[in-house]
Structure 1
């Protein structure tokens, strides 16, 4: 198995990295002048992290150091394959985005195995995850729930945190598309993109955002109930087989630290 070199700026990535893609607003087509560059990667851990007691913890690398990222900075999180798969199988919205990017900075032959089997992770279980994510962002937007991220500059400018509203609607649109089609299409375009940009730029009232979110919640539930092509839960048997094949292929073709 031939491994291509990592792209410029990512030579620090650990052995076994199978997939690297740009995440966040740039992937969604909603970036502005202040947006930094967010990347997610998946690593097939070396044998010692799987067969022994040691476990691979998520690795984060930010070119801004400890400062706030600017538009030129790269913020990258590397997930271990087993942990990422466990989260993805539960219907985690962030995991689905990584599987449906329009392009990738790096894909190994093993990483392509994961992309070729992305449908294994789609199930109706994701509907409640998307609704939960949407609701958490909406409640933070309304001030009904403490938010981990604070953006006082947005509150000062618009009277409320428009980015919470943007994320709530974005994830709702994606949850609806996933339940209707079993796939995500990125980046956003057309009317959906216009609506997201309008929300992010404060051209939509908070009350209207709440109404949009409530409609999306109802439509996600309806789509999940109506679409008989999407299974109720993930096919763990096939996912187990996929992981086994990915680990074997990665270990056979690499001189990773064992």
Structure 2
């Protein structure tokens, strides 16, 4: 796509380098937004995003970005509130979009940030169990009551037992895949601290950011608590202490949602007007 660079309206550092939690070995992740050529806006051609895995770069179409940001997707909101020092490129269309970023915030952040944090919790808990109580063997059908069938294969006594076997076998396969593909950095953290402290860093960051947004109406991408988060990664809390902290943050997020001044949902009409205006102006100027 030789048009992509010219069509880009915003490009920022993303991930740990934008959060202030990076180290010397951290990837340099980049995210951006573009207004694609007019054939993608009003013609039959379709474009949502471009991924450059070699350079850890993803560029979203403005339309896709707006829809995800309107749903209060945490990864998208980061692009709008990245601090100025971490903006790699921005033009007048990107400035206009960021000038209207408050339109996107709503009470939905309580659900989306908690949801992203919960996915980190689930992975962390699964890995914790695998570290401390790993499955000893691959499950067999016989352990779930299956008997040889006269036509070959096996027959389970009921559907429940068959499903239980399939779930146990899937768990075993996931465990083997995790063992074979463990990230060396994550593996070292787990061995040192007894759980994946990088997952802990991310989930605590997500809860804290969600609480801040609900209370302040602002997304602090570059973390004022970066030093504390890095201490979390280095094992500041035992696993039981972390679980208590998570419960406290869940309660704090619920309380912040109950008292927030943010609207229940973003103003779809105003956001659509912004999107149409940006697209129209880009086409009128020959940019798209």
TM-score of the pair, normalised by structure 2: 0.75
Compute the displacement of 1:14 (Å). Answer: 3.1
**Structure 1: any 5+ residue segments left out of the alignment?**
1-10, 66-73
Q: Deviations over 1:159-193 (max 9, x none)?
A: 3211111110011111110000111123222xx22
**Secondary structure, counterpart of 1:31 in structure 2:** coil
The answer to whether structure 1 residue 51 and structure 2 residue 42 are counterparts is yes
Distance 2:99 2:262 in 1: 17
Computing the radius of gyration from Cα coordinates, the structure with the larger value is: 2
Q: Do the aligned partners of 1:91 and 1:127 also contact (CA within 8 Å) in 2?
A: no
Superposition CA RMSD, Å: 2.2
Aligned length: 233
Are 1:250 and 2:260 matched, yes or no? no
Residue 150 (structure 1) shift: 4.7
Instruction: Answer whether contact 1:19 1:111 (CA < 8 A) is retained.
Output: yes
1:223 aligns with 2:256: yes
Q: 2:118 aligns with which of 135, 145, 154?
A: 135
Task: Identify the residue that residue 213 of structure 1 maps to in structure 2.
Answer: 246
1:125 aligns with 2:108: yes
> Normalising by the residue count of structure 1, what TM-score does the alignment of the two structures yield?
0.83
> Residue 162 of structure 1 corresponds to which residue in structure 2?
197
Say whether 1:175 aligns with 2:210. yes
**1:134 Cα offset (Å):** 0.9
Q: 1:156 to 1:118 in 2, by over 3 A?
A: same
Partner of 1:204: 237
Measure, in 2, the Cα distance between the counterparts of 1:177 and 1:136. Answer: 20
The unaligned stretches of length 5 or more in structure 2 are 128-170
**Corresponding residue for residue 110 of structure 1:** 93
1:234 correspondence with 2:266 = yes
Report the Cα distance in structure 2 between the residues aligned to 1:150 and 1:212, rounded to whole angstroms.
27
